[in-house]
Amino acid sequence: MTKFVYALSEGNRDLKDLLGGKGANLAEMHNMGLPVPPSFTITTEACKAYLEKGSEPEELAQQIDEHVAKIEDEIGKKLGDPSDPLLVSVRSGAKFSMPGMMETVLNIGLNDESVEGLATVTENPRFAYDSYRRLLQMFGKTVLDIDGEKFEDVLDEAKDAKGTKNDLDLDVEDLKKIVEKFKQIIADETGKPFPQEPKEQLLEAMRAVFRSWNSERAILYRRQERIPADLGTAVNVCTMVFGNLGMDSGTGVAFTRDPASGSQGVYGDYLQNAQGEDVVAGIRNTMSLADMEGVDKNAYDELMGIMSKLEDHYKDLCDIEFTVQNKKLWMLQTRVGKRTAEAAFKIACQLVDEGAISEEEALSRVNGDQLVQLMFPRFDEKAKKEKIGQGMNASPGAAVGALCFSSPKAAELAEKGEKVILARRETNPDDLVGMIAAQGILTSRGGKTSHAAVVARGMGKTCVCGAEELGIDVAAETMTLPDGTVMKAGDVVSINGTTGEVFKGEVPVVDPPVVKYFEGKLGQEEIDGDELVHAVHRIMTIADAKRRLKVRANADTGDDAARARRFGAQGIGLCRTEHMFLGDRRPFVEKLILAETVEEKKAALDALAPLQKGDFVEILEAMDGLPVTVRLLDPPLHEFLPSQIEMASQMAVARAKGTDITDDQKKIMAAVERMAEQNPMLGLRGVRLGIVIPGLFEMQAKAILEAAAERRKAGGDPKPEIMIPLVAAVQELEIMKDAIRTVADEVSEATGVDLRDTPIGTMIELPRAAVTAGQIAESAEFFSFGTNDLTQTTWGFSRDDVEGAFFSRYIERGIFGVSPFETLDVVGVGAMVEMAAKAGRETRPDIHLGVCGEHGGDPASVHFFHEVGLDYVSCSPFRVPVARLEAGRASN
Ligand code: ADP
Ligand code: MG
Ligand code: MG
C-alpha cells in the first residue's frame, strides 16, 4: 500500500518532492523543536494520482482518518465535536513556492452547531462567527468556485451599513447575518447547502487544492518561473491556531534579513486580531516587528530567538509566517526566502563573512539572471523629476510606462508592444497576467510583504507598493495626486523600486554602478565602498577562479571589442563581416555582383580590400593578445542589393517622370530578379558564396592577414582565426582552405610576417556538418557551433518567421517549455553539438571548440556547453559577465 500521508515527525526538509516545500519545512521545524501546530501532509503522489484519474486513490481516506485521529488525541479535541471542535486548515504546498498561486482553506470543521460550541468554549462569539464566515467565504471561493466578489460585496455592505471601513467594527450580530448570507450564496450558486460534515469539508478542500495545481494562474506562474508542470502539490492539514481571538492575538510574516535590499536585521509585518491572509492582503495597515515588541514582548522575544535559530539551521535568509494565539507563538511556515538580485549577492557575501557558508556555496546562491537585473539601467539622478508619491521600495529597478488600472488591459496593451505600469490599490493572484505584462507595479496599499511585493520580487519586476497618498481608483481608472491633479489611464509615470519614489512623466535612465564596475570605471575604493558592487566583484572573482569554460564576445567593431574586453571577454568568438559591406560600401558590392568580366570583379574586390583591412586592424588592436575569430561573408548576396519592391518603385518613378531607365538600373533589376530566392536562409550564402564568387573569400582572408601583419609590425600581438560559415561537407571547406592557405603564403611572403599558421576553421551550424564532424575535422582546425542556425535547420523553422506565429501555442501545449532560440534544446540540437564535439576531437584531439550563437549568453545553455566539454562560449558583450558567472557556477 502506498503511503500517501506523512506525520510531521516523518518528514524533513529534503523531502520537498514528496511533501512540498511547506510540508517539508513544517516537518523540519517540528523536528527542530519549534512550536508548530500538530499537522500532517498528504503527498504530491496523491495529487498526481488524483489529477490523473479525477479521483483520489482508494486508500487515501483511510490514511487521512488515522492521522486526524492522532491529532485529535494530541489536542484533546475532535473534528466535528459540536461542543469543542478541532479545526484545521487545508493548505497547498508545492515543491517550489508559488506565492498565492494555490488555494488554502482555514477553519475547516466548523458548522452551524460547532460554531456555537466554539463560541461557548472560547467565551468569544464574535471570534467564532468571524471564523465561520471566513470558512464559508474561502470554501465558497476556492472549493466551490464561486466568484469571490459576491462574498466581498456582502462584507462591504455590512461595513457600509455601520459606516466603517474596518472589519473589526463588525460585531457578532453583524457576523451572524453575514454567515446566513454567505450560506445563501453557496446554496444559490451551487444548488446545494454548505456541507456541514467536517470530514467532507476536509476532503473537498483537499481536492480543490489538488485541482488548483492546474488553475490558469498556477499554470501561468509555472511557465513564467519555468517550474515543471508535472510535479503536483502536496496538501498540509494543520491544526488551526487563532490570531483573531482578540488584541492579544495576531498574525504576521517576517524575514530574517531584508529581502529587498539585503540589509542585515529582521524585517516583517504584524497585525493584531487577524487571521491568515489579512496581513498580506493589506486590509488594514500592519505594524512593524519593532512595534510588535511593544505589544507582546514575550512572543516577540521568542520569535527573535526562533528566527536566529532558523538562519543558523538553513544558513540562509528565511521567511516565516507565524500566529500569536492569546500571547502564545506558533510557527506556520518557513522557507528559504525569495529575494531581489541585489539582496542575493549581498547576502551570499554576508554569509561567507559570518562563516556560515563557503565561497563555493556563495557562488551557488546567485545566478546569471540576477546579474542581468543588476545591469539594468537606473533613473538618472541628475535628471529633472516631478515626484508625485512615495511608497515602499518593494522590488528594485526603474520602470517607465503608461498608467493602466486593469490586469487584462495591461496584458492587451503589452501584446501591442506598449509599456505600462500596472496601478492597483493592492494586487491579488488574479493580477498575475497584468504583473507579467507590465514594466512595473504600483499599489497604494500594502507593505513589503504584500502580494504585489512578494510576486514582483519573485519575477524580478520593479514594484512600488503602499504609496498611500496616491488615490488609485481602479473603477474610475484614475489616480488622484495629493494636490488634486487627476492622472488618467495612459498618462506616463516612472517608478523607482529601489527608493519607492513615483514620478510624473518619463524619467531618463543611466547605467547602474554594477555596469560601471564592469566597464572598469570604478576604482578599488569605490568598489569597496559599495556593498553591492563589492559583492559582485567578490562573486565574479570566485566564478573566474572556478570556471573551465572561457568566455569570448561577439563583436564586429573596435569599440564593441574594447567594451567586451573590459567586461572580461577573453577574445572574440564571432566577428561578423557583413556590416562591413553596407553603407557607403554598397556601391562596391553592387559592382562586384554586376561584374561581367574577371577584370571587373577583381577591380571591385580590390576596392573593398583596403576598407576591410582597416576594420580588422581596429578589432585586432582592441583584442591584442587574444584570439579574434572572423567569419567570412555569410548572408545571401541579394541582401546587399535593393529589394525587388525598391527597384520596381524606382522604375515606376522614372516612367512617371518620363526619364529613361539607366543601364545600371536595368542591370541591377536583372540581378535582383536573378538572385531572388524562395528560401534565402537555405540559399546562396556562407561557404557557397566563397565557392561561387571566386576571389571573395580570398579578398577577405587577405584583408584579415594584412591587418595582422600590420599589427605585428606595429609591435602588437594579433591572433586572428579565419572561420568559414555554413559548411555542410568537408570538400567545401577543403576548397576554401586551400585558397586561403595560398593567400596566407602570399601575404607572408609580401609582408615578411609569417602568418602561415593562422588557424582556419568552420562553423558547425547544419545538421550534415554535425553528423560528418569527424570528416570535417580533418580539414577544420577549430569548430564554432552556430547554434542559431543549427536550431533553425534542425527543427526546420526560421526564427524570424515562427516566434510570433506559433511559439506561444507550442509552449502552451508543452512541446517545449521555452523557445529553443532562447535556451538550447538540449535533447535535439544539444545532441548534435555533443556528437559533433566528440567526433571532432576523435579526428583531431587538439581541435578547439566554441559556441557563437545567442545561446552562449544563456545561463542554462552555458551549463550544457560546460558539460559537453567545449572550450569557450561567445556572446554579446553585455552578456559576458553573465556567461562568466554561469561558467563558474557550472564548474562549481
Ligand atoms: P500560502 O501558500 O499562500 O502562503 P498558506 O497555506 O500559508 O498559504 O496559508 C494562508 C494563510 O493562512 C497564511 O497566512 C497562514 O499563515 C494561515 N494559516 C494556514 N494554516 C493555518 C493554521 N493552521 N492556523 C492559523 N493560520 C493558518
Ligand atoms: Mg503561507
Ligand atoms: Mg549562421
The 10s digit of each residue's pLDDT in 57-106 is 999 999 999 999 999 999 999 999 999 999 999 999 999 888 666 778 99
Report the C-alpha gap between 566 and 559 in whole angstroms.
11
Domain count of the chain?
5
Please say whether the beta carbons of 779 and 756 come within 8 A. no
Mean pLDDT to the nearest integer, 584-601: 83
Question: Residue 775, class by beta-carbon neighbours within 10 Å (0-12 exposed, 13-18 middle, 19+ buried)?
Answer: middle
What pLDDT does residue 803 have? 67
Residues 744 and 809 in one domain: yes
Q: Whose CA is nearest to atom 18 of ligand 1?
A: 276
> Does the pLDDT at position 299 exceed 80?
yes
pLDDT tens track for 731-754: 999 999 999 999 999 999 999 999
37 lines ligand 1 (CB under 6 A): yes
Residues 104 and 193 in one domain: yes
277 lines ligand 1 (CB under 6 A): yes
Q: Among 222-236, 285-299, 544-558, 760-774, which is the least confidently predicted range?
A: 222-236
Question: Residue 678, class by beta-carbon neighbours within 10 Å (0-12 exposed, 13-18 middle, 19+ buried)?
Answer: exposed
> Does the pLDDT at position 692 exceed 80?
yes
> Does the pLDDT at position 583 exceed 80?
no
850 lines ligand 1 (CB under 6 A): no
Q: Whose CA is nearest to atom 20 of ligand 1?
A: 89
What pLDDT does residue 547 have? 97
Please say whether the beta carbons of 873 and 528 come within 8 A. no
Q: Is residue 30 among the annotated active site residues? A: no
**pTM: predicted TM-score of the whole model, two decimal places:** 0.84
What pLDDT does residue 100 have? 60
Please say which residue of 182, 212, 239 terminates a domain: 239
CATH classification at residue 400:
3.50.30.10
> Does the pLDDT at position 282 exceed 70?
no
* Neighbouring C-beta atoms of residue 18, cutoff 10 Å: 20
Q: Whose CA is nearest to atom 8 of ligand 1?
A: 104
> Does the pLDDT at position 629 exceed 90?
yes
CA of 853 to the centre of ligand 3 (A): 8
Mean pLDDT to the nearest integer, 143-168: 91
Please provide the size of the chain in residues: 892
Q: Is residue 9 part of a domain?
A: no
Residues 185 and 215 in one domain: yes
> Dihedrals φ, ψ of 156, to 5°?
-65, -40
Report the C-alpha gap between 441 and 421 in whole angstroms.
6
Q: Whose CA is nearest to atom 1 of ligand 1?
A: 100
454 lines ligand 1 (CB under 6 A): no
Closest CA to 705 of 726, 724, 719: 719
Mean pLDDT to the nearest integer, 641-646: 76
- What is the arrangement of strands in the sheet containing 105-108, beginning at the earlier edge strand? 5-7, 39-42, 233-239, 88-94, 105-108
Q: Is residue 848 part of a domain?
A: yes
Residues 189 and 140 in one domain: yes
Please say whether the beta carbons of 257 and 317 come within 8 A. yes
Residues 728 and 665 in one domain: no
Q: Is residue 642 part of a domain?
A: yes
333 lines ligand 1 (CB under 6 A): yes
Separation in Å, CA 725 to CA 576, 737, 760, 786, 790: 10, 12, 11, 9, 12
Any idea which residue has 505589544 for its cell? 295
Closest CA to 243 of 116, 98, 89: 89
Please say whether the beta carbons of 319 and 334 come within 8 A. yes
In this prediction, residue 285 has a pLDDT band, given cuts at 50, 70 and 90, of: confident
pLDDT tens track for 413-430: 998 889 999 999 988 878
What pLDDT does residue 440 have? 96
334 lines ligand 1 (CB under 6 A): no
Q: Is residue 15 part of a domain?
A: no
Mean pLDDT to the nearest integer, 443-455: 84
What pLDDT does residue 101 have? 65
DSSP string computed for 332-349: EEEEEPP--HHHHHHHHH
CATH classification at residue 578:
3.20.20.60
Please say whether the beta carbons of 469 and 457 come within 8 A. no
ipTM rounded to 2 decimals = 0.95
100 lines ligand 1 (CB under 6 A): yes
C-alpha cell at 91: 493548505
> Which amino acid is present at 24?
A
Mutate which of 321, 330, 432 for ligand 1 pocket (most atoms within 8 A of beta carbon):
321
CA of 503 to the centre of ligand 2 (A): 33
At residue 251, the 3 state secondary structure works out as strand
> Which amino acid is present at 460?
G
Residues 493 and 600 in one domain: no
pLDDT tens track for 523-577: 999 999 999 999 999 999 999 999 999 999 999 889 889 999 999 999 999 999 9
Please say which residue of 656, 676, 696 terminates a domain: 676
> Does the pLDDT at position 490 exceed 80?
yes
Higher pLDDT, 600 or 672: 600
C-alpha cell at 63: 490514511
Q: Among 315-329, 573-587, 638-652, 767-781, which is the least confidently predicted range?
A: 638-652
CA of 409 to the centre of ligand 2 (A): 29
Segment (H or E) for 17: helix 16-31
What pLDDT does residue 460 have? 75
Residues 461 and 501 in one domain: yes
Mean pLDDT to the nearest integer, 292-307: 95
Residues 630 and 761 in one domain: yes
Q: Is residue 866 among the annotated active site residues? A: no
Catalytic-role residue among 238, 852, 855, 875:
852
Higher pLDDT, 805 or 75: 75
Residues 151 and 96 in one domain: yes
Mean pLDDT to the nearest integer, 124-147: 94
* Neighbouring C-beta atoms of residue 659, cutoff 10 Å: 9
Q: Whose CA is nearest to atom 15 of ligand 1?
A: 276
Residues 585 and 450 in one domain: no
Segment (H or E) for 13: none
> Which amino acid is present at 825?
D
> Does the pLDDT at position 164 exceed 80?
yes
What pLDDT does residue 523 have? 94
Helix 859-867 with 880-891: angle, nearest 10 deg? 50
321 lines ligand 1 (CB under 6 A): yes
Please say which residue of 645, 676, 707 terminates a domain: 676
Rounded to 10 degrees, the C-alpha dihedral 187/193/196/200 comes to: -100
Strand 85-86 and strand 250-257: pairing? Answer: unpaired
Closest CA to 90 of 205, 213, 207, 240: 205
Q: Is residue 884 part of a domain?
A: yes
Q: Whose CA is nearest to atom 3 of ligand 1?
A: 100
User: Which atom of ligand 1 is nearest to 277's Cα?
Assistant: 14
Report the C-alpha gap between 562 and 549 in whole angstroms.
21
> Does the pLDDT at position 223 exceed 80?
no
Mean pLDDT to the nearest integer, 368-381: 89
Please say whether the beta carbons of 613 and 672 come within 8 A. no
Mean pLDDT to the nearest integer, 26-47: 98
CA of 322 to the centre of ligand 1 (A): 9
Report the C-alpha gap between 616 and 86 in whole angstroms.
79
C-alpha cell at 406: 486593469
Q: Is residue 363 part of a domain?
A: no
CA of 333 to the centre of ligand 2 (A): 6
Mutate which of 30, 68, 104 for ligand 1 pocket (most atoms within 8 A of beta carbon):
104
Angle at 274 between CA 269 and CA 276, to 5 degrees: 80
563-593: b or e for each residue (b if 16 or more CB lie within 10 Å)? bbbebbbbbbbbbbbeebbeeebeebbbbbb
Helices vs. strands in the chain: H and E counts, helices first: 36, 33
CA of 23 to the centre of ligand 3 (A): 49
Numbered residues of the known binding site: 576, 631, 765, 786-789
703 lines ligand 1 (CB under 6 A): no
323 lines ligand 1 (CB under 6 A): yes
89 lines ligand 1 (CB under 6 A): yes
User: Residue 275: nearest ligand to its CA?
Assistant: 1
In this prediction, residue 878 has a pLDDT band, given cuts at 50, 70 and 90, of: confident
Numbered residues of the known binding site for substrate: 576, 631, 765, 786-789
CATH classification at residue 158:
3.30.1490.20
325 lines ligand 1 (CB under 6 A): no
User: Which atom of ligand 1 is nearest to 91's Cα?
Assistant: 6
What pLDDT does residue 802 have? 76
User: Residue 20: nearest ligand to its CA?
Assistant: 1
Catalytic-role residue among 30, 67, 451, 848:
451
Report the C-alpha gap between 573 and 633 in whole angstroms.
15
CATH classification at residue 291:
3.30.470.20
Question: Residue 134, class by beta-carbon neighbours within 10 Å (0-12 exposed, 13-18 middle, 19+ buried)?
Answer: buried
> Which amino acid is present at 305?
G
> Does the pLDDT at position 807 exceed 90?
no
User: Which atom of ligand 1 is nearest to 39's Cα?
Assistant: 23
Range of the domain at 475: 376-510
Numbered residues of the known binding site for Mg(2+): 765, 789
User: Residue 277: nearest ligand to its CA?
Assistant: 1
Q: Whose CA is nearest to atom 14 of ligand 1?
A: 276
Residues 50 and 190 in one domain: yes
Helix then strand then coil, in percent of the chain rounded to 5, is 50, 15, 30
Q: Is residue 536 part of a domain?
A: no
Q: Is residue 754 part of a domain?
A: yes
What pLDDT does residue 817 have? 76
What pLDDT does residue 112 have? 96
Q: What is the mean pLDDT of the chain?
A: 92
* Neighbouring C-beta atoms of residue 361, cutoff 10 Å: 15
Mutate which of 106, 141, 278, 328 for ligand 1 pocket (most atoms within 8 A of beta carbon):
106
Residues 617 and 643 in one domain: no
| Ion ligand 3 — residues with CB < 5 Å | 765, 786, 789
User: Residue 323: nearest ligand to its CA?
Assistant: 1
Separation in Å, CA 650 to CA 336, 588, 644, 669: 66, 20, 10, 10
What pLDDT does residue 241 have? 96
